[in-house]
Structure 1
């Protein structure tokens, strides 16, 4: 039996990006055409990750029509490991990726997707012997997944701690309010990262410094 392969990471940003599918779309298109269409969407996201500016983003998996990715991982000790980023850099890269995901859908005349982003320490590793899977675990992963059920179309939702870092980077976050998130005691303060009509991130004229 081979030793378990795993990695510890402190500064990782995770995204759950869910394409919102109308209930009757598959019935209208039929199974084959529906699968072809959804494959085009997912493939367009894969193409984004191949761009140089997103090379620190790792696709984790697709669960139904939710695209899961993380920024700040270096599985297998990639050659650019020396570029290990701090949390602010991983968040900024993943925010840009989320913005571009919306732009990709716009090219398909598709307007409905929701993004949820969290950050923090996680563990990554490979599990299984048949079709082994590289996956990630930790509270930020759980929270991004749970917040995905409370997201809104065409919005990037984040928790308060993540919003604080994003605003210090010079981007605007709008307070959404307190929502119930499974696994947390009571309600959790959440924010939407502001996007303009072209799905670009909106900057603040005054960057907040510590």
Structure 2
């Protein structure tokens, strides 16, 4: 048997979940979503609201069946993830007002309650109402609610730092996201030539400081051109244009961002050289094509992409000339009306055979 306890807020406009025990298969993320639910004390729809209006227990002994029409969308979602077979919602009444609801449910077996059992549970619920509102527990619950709300805001901000806004919203609403096939996306890879050798002569603090300074600027530039940062691995930086919101300018946007990134790295190179310090040169490659994008992980989410397009973009970077914008023939075809490019030959790419490689000239035609 599982339970949950809902208590009204200070203004008695909503009931909120303050404690619960749910099946082990319900993830922490989904439990957080349940805790975020608000049940209107008046004017709402659903099984809880029905118990509030009637001020009597709502008891479904086995299978939801015809009662399903009384369930709200939130009720149905909780029923599905908890696999609820039977339940009873018991209003907690104090001085004639419902101040909370005690939920009891079973997933594998039915609840077998007699009229006397339900009467005893109703008395228990009234006693709980008196205890909660007549002791410091209620104040503690209010404090806990405020803390939980602050944590929710922090978690939401963290989620938006990890995932694209639309993907984060889908994850919050549904508890999961569906992978998406994109017909045309531009993927950019970068890494630093000679990173390992220079890293050996820098202290850990200097290494992280310099790497962070570069990636912070990359983040600002890619955001300005509406590219989606995907991840960093060591000294490698990966982003893409045309996801999660598709557009027709992703190849041009990626090249414009790449030009700014290389300009920034050239400035860093000049500053370091003037001081007699070692400097990094950047290899950068771009390829355009189809790929699959989606969220992986349950506790540590990551928005990632898969497909030959990703492998080919990586090959453009690793085979490219440092300090240049190295693009594939496919990307070249999408940008040639805007940028002058120089053909540099062919390179072998995994699952693709030979792929044309071009350098973007620093100036544009327009």
- The alpha carbon displacement at 1:114 in A equals 1.4
The one of 184, 193, 206 aligned to 1:33: 206
Local SS of the residue matching 1:98 = helix
Local SS of the residue matching 2:339 = coil
Structure 1: distance between partners of 2:365 and 2:357: 19
Local SS of the residue matching 2:320 = coil
- The alpha carbon displacement at 1:40 in A equals 0.9
* TM alignment of 1:188-203, pairs within 5 A: 188-195=355-362, 202-203=363-364
- 1:17 maps to 2:190: yes
Structure 2: distance between partners of 1:8 and 1:189: 25
Equivalent residue number for residue 258 of structure 2: 98
Equivalent residue number for residue 60 of structure 1: 230
Of structures 1 and 2, the larger Rg is shown by: 2
- 1:108 maps to 2:268: yes
* TM alignment of 1:37-48, pairs within 5 A: 37-48=210-221
Q: CA RMSD in A?
A: 2.0
Question: Quick check: 2:285–2:317 contact (8 Å CA) kept in 1?
Answer: yes
- The alpha carbon displacement at 1:66 in A equals 1.3
Q: Which runs of 4+ in 1 moved over 6 A?
A: none
TM-score where L is the length of structure 1? 0.79
- 1:118 maps to 2:279: no
Local SS of the residue matching 1:85 = coil
- 1:85 maps to 2:247: yes
Structure 2: distance between partners of 1:3 and 1:35: 34
Stretches of structure 1 that go unaligned for 5 or more consecutive residues are 75-80, 196-201, 206-210
Equivalent residue number for residue 59 of structure 2: none
Structure 2: distance between partners of 1:162 and 1:28: 37
- Inter-CA distance 22–6: structure 2 relative to 1 (3 Å threshold): closer
Equivalent residue number for residue 77 of structure 1: none
**How many residues of Structure 1 are paired with residues of Structure 2 in the alignment?**
184
Local SS of the residue matching 2:319 = coil
TM-score where L is the length of structure 2? 0.47
- Inter-CA distance 160–31: structure 2 relative to 1 (3 Å threshold): same
Equivalent residue number for residue 78 of structure 1: none
Question: Quick check: 1:8–1:121 contact (8 Å CA) kept in 2?
Answer: yes
* TM alignment of 1:129-140, pairs within 5 A: 129-140=298-309
Structure 2: distance between partners of 1:97 and 1:167: 16
Stretches of structure 2 that go unaligned for 5 or more consecutive residues are 1-24, 26-174, 270-278
- The alpha carbon displacement at 1:145 in A equals 1.3
Local SS of the residue matching 1:16 = strand
- The alpha carbon displacement at 1:3 in A equals 4.5
**CA deviation digits over 1:153-205, x for unaligned, max 9?**
0111122222122112x2111110122223223x322211112xxxxxx2347
